[in-house]
Each structure stands twice: as structure tokens, then as C-alpha cells.
Amino acid sequence: MIYGSCVSRDIFNLEENRNFKLTAYFARSSMASLCSDPYENEEALNRIASAFRRRMVAYDFSKQILTETENLSSADVILIDLIDERFDLVALPTGHIITNSSELAESGLLADSSVSGYRLIKHASKERRELWLQGMQKFLDLLESHGKLNSVVINKVYWASQFEHSSDTEFPVTLAATEKANQELDWMYNELEKKLGKDQFLQFSPDILTADETHRWGISPFHYSERYYKEALALLSTETASDKHTKPISKESLANASPLVSDGAKVTVAAYKTKSDVFAHCSLVVDGKIHESGKFAFYLLIDGNRHAARWYETSQSARFPIPETTGEITVVAFYQDPKEEKVSAQCIAKDLERSE
């Protein structure tokens, strides 16, 4: 069962998919809308030409995911992604909360005199966050009541910031918009991690989450390259085969694998630039000894302003294309320990040819 978007649904279009059968799919609907009573408006729904898009808006109106308990009970895996949390919410004059999706726009509902005086609740606002927390808790409580909380797998994906391959095509969104969206996704993932085991999250390196310029659904920061879908299917297959998401990993075992900042873990970084790329590598040091384990992220700054980012993954190295913007290039490396405490270091990128 999927509660999310095409980034999860399209995993199961792969020819390699043999072990999964999709039983239900709920999309274009924010968890925040689940805190509202069901809303009815058949006239608006009937203006949506596509049966699929009409059904998704109908699910959002009716909060049907909360009442289709047969789907919950029969699902071995409940796969959730948060890409469709990018939408604002609509607070109707009746008090109902619905998702302001592109499919809702197709219905023409907000132009109806019957909803005159509606209010938009903006993405990333404090009010929307509060509603999202309420809706999330309501959904997780329902899953727990059906004994399905351990069946949840969170597809932890982010907006891509570049195409898989070099291209002259302009990327569809700005880096600032991508970072803003990803910051809000991070906040929601952190809230879910308070309720679920960390091993219930599918995690991907940034080089996997790149956009496909020829994607079947068009160019978008979350229409990924084929590598992502294959990686996601492989991770899901491993999850279900081992059933590891029902066996939480202890803080003690994580601490043994990666040193803690509170125990003196420090990070150092070196960076070099060529005509085409900036290369960076960081080292994790405790008591003078280098540790190989951990999660690391990198920022590339130009004259002190962030230009690009490589989000957390196990690799201690990063590569960035040389920016077109001129200025002093600085690289910042971050280490995050098992308790989610962070430490950083930075350096100015040296010219590789000159240093040789």
C-alpha cells in the first residue's frame, strides 16, 4: 500500500519487480488534511477529466485512507513518501481542510462562490506544521491500532538539484527552492523518526537522487533517474526479505559503529579545484585516530554564500562541478553522529595544478 506519490508508485513499474503487488495507492494528499472531517463536493470532482486525478482528490476530500481498514490490514508493507507535502492547504469556510494540489486546481473548486472566503495555509508555515503533526499522529495511531506500525517504510527522498547527466536544459527549479523544500522534508522526516525506528527509512545518496531529463512524466526535481527506482526496489526487497524494520537498532550498537561528538569526534576537510570540478575529502578523528564510519555532508560556498550541497551519506568524499559564478570557493564538511549531534570544518579550495 502506498501513501505518497509517483516516486514510490513508479518503483513497481520496473520489469525486475516480481515480489510486490500494489493493493492501494493514495496520492496528492497531505497528512495535514487528515485532521479534518470528510468533505463532500461531487460537482467539483466531476470537473476533473482524468479518472485517476479525480479519484485522488476524492480520497483527499473523504479522508478515505482512514476508513479503508481492509487495505491497512492486508498490507505487508505500507510505503510512505512525502513529496506531495509540497502543496499548500486550503481551509474552507466550512472548517474543512483539503490539499491545494494541481488536481484540485483542475476542479475549479476555489473559483466557486460556495467556498468564498477560503484561506490558504502556506507550505512550511507554523500553522501547517501543527496540522501536519496532528494528521501524522492520527494516521500512526490508526496503524498502531491495526498492529501495522512495524509495516511502515518511509521512502526518504528529497528534491534533486541537478540532472543525472550534463545538459544544456535549464533545471526546472532554482537551488533556493530545492533547498527550501528539502529543509521542510528534513523537518518532517525528523518528526517521523521520533515515532518510528530509523531502520524503517529507505535512504539514498544524492548521486542516486538526480533528475531524469527524459522522464515519462516530464522534467521535475522529483522525477528521478532510473538508478533511483532500481535502488529503491532493491532496498525494499532487502527490507521485506530480512524483515529488519521490525527489529530496531539500539543506540548502543550505533554508538559502537560511529563515534560521538560528545566523546571528542572531530572532522577535518581538504578541497582542491580543477578547471571542471571541486574535489573534497573529510576525515573523522577521535583521540588522534581516523574512523571510517559515519554520515557526512558537504556545502560548497562562493564568497561565503552556499552554492551547492551534498546531503548526508557514508562517503567521506564529494565532487562538485566548478560553478559559473566567480569568487572564493570554500568547502564545509559536516559529521553527524548517532545521537544526531553535528560538528563541522571548512577550508578554501586550493588550485590542484598550482599545488602540484
> Which residue matches cell numbers 490508526?
142
The answer on 277 and 230 residing in a single domain is: no
Residue 228 CA to residue 156 CA, distance in Å, equals: 12
Distance set, CA 154 to CA 26, 27, 44, 58, 130 (Å): 14, 15, 32, 24, 20
Q: Which residue has the higher pLDDT, 125 or 340?
A: 125
Domain count, the chain: 2
Residues 47, 166 within the same domain: yes
Instruction: Give the tens place of pLDDT for each residue, 134-164.
Output: 999 999 999 999 999 999 999 999 999 999 9
How far is Cα 15 from Cα 9, in angstroms, rounded to an integer?
A: 14
Which CATH number is 292's domain given?
A: 2.60.40.1930
Q: What is the DSSP letter of 250?
A: P
Q: What angle do CA 239, 244, 246 make, to 5 degrees?
A: 115
Q: Is the pLDDT of residue 248 over 70?
A: no
pTM: 0.69
Tell me how far apart the alpha carbons of residues 239 and 56 are, in angstroms, rounded to a whole number: 28
State which of 249, 266, 294 marks the end of a domain. Answer: 249
Same structural domain for residues 47 and 136? yes
Question: What digits encode the pLDDT tens for the residues 20-47?
Answer: 999 999 999 999 999 999 999 999 999 9
Task: Mark whether 88 and 207 lie in a shared domain.
Answer: yes
What's the whole-number mean pLDDT along residues 51-60?
Answer: 97
Angle at 75 between CA 132 and CA 246, to 5 degrees: 80
For residue 68, what pLDDT band results from cuts at 50, 70 and 90?
confident
In this structure, the answer to whether residues 322 and 266 fall within a common structural domain is yes
In whole numbers, what is the pLDDT of the chain averaged over residues? Answer: 90
Q: Mind listing the pLDDT tens digit for each residue in 69-119?
A: 888 888 999 999 999 999 999 999 999 999 999 999 999 999 999 999 999
**Domain match, 242 and 327 both:** no
Residue 237 is predicted with a pLDDT of 83
- What is the extent of the structural domain holding 350? 256-355
Furthest CA-CA distance within the chain = 72
Residues 143, 218, single domain; the answer is yes
**Domain stop point among 201, 231, 249:** 249
The answer on 137 and 232 residing in a single domain is yes
Q: Kindly state whether residues 156 and 281 are assigned to the same domain.
A: no
Let me know whether 135 and 266 are in one domain.
no
Q: Are residues 277 and 237 in the same domain?
A: no
Q: Domain boundary at 224, 249, 274, which?
A: 249
How much of the chain exceeds pLDDT 70, in percent?
A: 94
